[in-house]
Amino acid sequence: MNDLNTIISTFSNEDQQRFVSYLEKKNKRNDTKNVQLFKYLVNDDLNSEDLCFKLYGNHKKGAYHALRKRLYQSIIDFIANASLQDEKAVDMQIIKYILASRTCLQHKQYKVAYKILDKAEILANEHHLFPLLNEIYHTKIQYAYANPSVDMNQLISKFKSNQKNHQLEDQLNIVYAKIRQTLHNMTFKGDVVDFETILNNTLKEHRISLTDSMSFKSLYQLVAINSYSAFVTNDYLKIEPFLINTYQSIIAHKDREKQLYYHIQILYFIANTLFRNKKFNASMQYLELMHEHMKEKQKKHYNTFKLKYHLLLSLNLNYTNKPDEAVDVLTPLATIKHADIETLLDMRLSLIMFYFQKNELKKAYTLFSKFYHTDNWYTEKAGKDWVIKKHLIEILLHIELKNIDLVESRLLSFKRSHRNYLKGINQQRVLTYLSLVEDCYKNPEKITSKAFKDKVEKSFEWIDNQREDIFVMSFYAWLKSKMENKPLYNTTLTLIENVKPI
């Protein structure tokens, strides 16, 4: 997907309509083909040659590429103008106040100037705009000598307090960037690091306390950092109270409507955490709230979060005994084009898992066969752990389909590709699980024996069900279903339902 297609894929239906109107107003000639090209890119899955022929009736590559460049620039201008209107209205109003006050000060209209600056200060404080507050206090202090009613000490105190908030926000932004980079290298490059130690050391180095009062964006970054920590450690219970409490702070912010993107992202983090903690009803409540906010501002952010929302919705449905509904949610989205390739791949793998759990093996295998890229490509797009899950599902799928020769080759390939990585991140239990899976397909007559059950029992250091990862439990459910000779989906639900809430 090139840059132009990637940007267009993020447009909602309303964005598309507004952009077409924008182009039609901008066009000075009737024969301009930019609207046609945009509609083709939205609706058709055509390559450059086909698009060129459709537009011009021949292969005028020069004209076609010039048209693409102009369309790309128009999209950038459209997005920038929309952002200025939607996101920067408050900022621009405060800047106008500051400029107007400085003009008044230059003309020695001190009382009028300070009244204007007071308005700017109230507005900037409401929205936690620390850089603009800095300019306001700087101006007030500069001309304080000319306004006897000004309390200089109080003004200096405000200025210093704002400087601390501004510095804290900057420091947190640096921490956030470092943590994201570390996580990226772990997830997509397979780096083996002690994430918790890096997180704690980074916070300590920049003197960040997770209880500091922040701007809306910074609160989002705190939530994100904690969510990434839970993702790496699989300890979602630990962060759940922090996420819920932080969200209560966020909804009290007057600028929550202004920074809608962060609001939606935080709701997703909370809903996902609750799902991973097997609190499905609570997760669905936050998902519903997320969906409501996705529809705000003419669905401005709807397309951005569409895949994440539907993926989490389907997972909640699947684990609350609604597997058919889960499949119905994902099926129409599994083959679409979207900029969020990582979530798209998660959706496809989840849909395969749903079919597999329902024993609809041919459907699962048909969908799985569409994974035709290399492991390196999938690692780059979705991460190392995703590739490992894909290979594990493939092995189980071949066992169920009795493709014995393929099972043997996939087992050898898995061990060769992932053994060192799994040992490096202290996840040897995946290799242990795989050896038990190997026992199952080589000696199926022994699976239900007491000896095999005892072997399974002694093979793992068991984690209590509340803390165990839901997807790890789902893989174990396959083993348990074989030992008990019961359907996989029922076994999975029984395991999950036995989790006692904390």
| pLDDT tens string 26-78 | 887 776 788 888 888 887 677 788 788 777 877 768 888 888 888 889 888 88
Buried b (16+ CB within 10 A) or exposed e, 35-72: bebbebbeeeeeeeeebbeebeeeeeeeebeebbeebe
pLDDT at 325 over 90: yes
Note the pLDDT of residue 212.
Answer: 46
State residue 486 phi and psi, 5-degree precision. -125, 160
Q: Percent of the chain at pLDDT above 90?
A: 42
Closest CA to 225 of 188, 267, 172, 273: 172
- Sign for the CA dihedral angle at 456, 457, 459, 465 comes to positive
Closest CA to 286 of 315, 314, 313: 313
d(CA 296, CA 289): 11
| pLDDT tens string 161-189 | 888 888 877 887 787 788 778 767 765 66
Q: Do 34 and 74 meet the contact criterion of CB atoms below 8 Å apart?
A: yes
| pLDDT tens string 67-88 | 888 888 988 888 877 766 655 6
| pLDDT tens string 217-247 | 677 777 777 776 676 667 777 778 878 877 8
pTM of the predicted protein model: 0.72
Tell me the C-alpha to C-alpha distance, in Å, between residue 21 and each of 35, 41, 66: 9, 16, 21
